[in-house]
A and B are shown apart, each in its own frame.
Chain A
Amino acid sequence: AQTVTQSQPEMSVQEAETVTLSCTYDTSENNYYLFWYKQPPSRQMILVIRQEAYKQQNATENRFSVNFQKAAKSFSLKISDSQLGDTAMYFCAFMLLDSNYQLIWGAGTKLIIKP
């Protein structure tokens, strides 16, 4: 069975700082996807970034980047130049390639950006 662990229940940083959220996962499979989803307070959940396990290159989306270490089963999210609007719950999630519908979610990290 697959599991996803986020060891930081809550983090806070000053605006404009860089912050890294950690995520580890456990699987015996080789073909899967990893995701970071963001859920701002009272707003809808959106996808931040996606990584295909077969790609060695780390995914980036503007200020968001991941450090994907497949052998270590680690998938951390780095947010550069953090903004107040980055305040949200961040969930790491895992999906097997042939499992169309079932995301395995981490417990989430509450990130607070302070002005």
Chain B
Amino acid sequence: DTEVTQTPKHLVMGMTNKKSLKCEQHMGHRAMYWYKQKAKKPPELMFVYSYEKLSINESVPSRFSPECPNSSLLNLHLHALQPEDSALYLCASSQVVVRGTSFLGGPGELFFGEGSRLTVL
């Protein structure tokens, strides 16, 4: 199973709403990511979880709140978003690189979900 599943696929919300994006993987990966992607642009890293602990926060506004309840799940809680936050939100997972070991996928291979397209009105 090499799938990363994201729900919902589409989400429309007002600026006062609270919603969540969900991501699930069952590949045994211990690193999980949230990216934001605008049309025809590369993904922008938002958060990285390693072994269920937040290891990277790329100075993301607090209206985005990540959560990693267990090794298979990653959530992104959304509150008081702005219209400029409208984008495709991508979840990804990967192996955690350990120097000197080899494993399926290799360093840097991210497995992406199809994304959640968010529109903020």
CB pair B109–A50 under 8 Å, yes or no, is: yes
Interface size of B by Cβ–Cβ distance < 8 Å? Answer: 27
Interface size class of A (residues with CB under 8 A): 20 to 34
Interface residues of B in 88-104 (CB under 8 A from A): 90, 92, 94, 96-97, 99
Q: Do A101 and B55 form a contact, CB below 8 Å, given A45-B112, A50-B106, A95-B108? A: yes
Find the A residue at minimum CB distance from B115. A44
B31 within 8 A of A: yes
Which one of B13-21, B43-51, B61-69 contacts A? B43-51
A11-43 with Cβ < 8 A to chain B? 33, 35, 37, 43
Contacts of A89 in B (CB 8 A): 40
Task: Chain B residues near A50: list those with CB within 8 A.
Answer: 106, 108-109
The CA-CA distance from A106 to B106 in the complex, in Å, is: 21
Name B residues whose Cβ lies closer than 8 Å to a Cβ of A.
4, 31, 33, 40-43, 45, 48, 50, 55-56, 90, 92, 94, 96-97, 99, 106-110, 112-115
Which A residues have a C-beta under 8 Å from some C-beta of B?
33, 35, 37, 43-47, 50, 89, 91, 93, 95, 97-98, 100-103, 105-108, 110
Offer 9 A-B interface pairs, CB within 8 angstroms, sorted by A. Answer: A33-B108, A44-B113, A45-B43, A101-B55, A101-B94, A105-B42, A107-B41, A108-B42, A110-B40
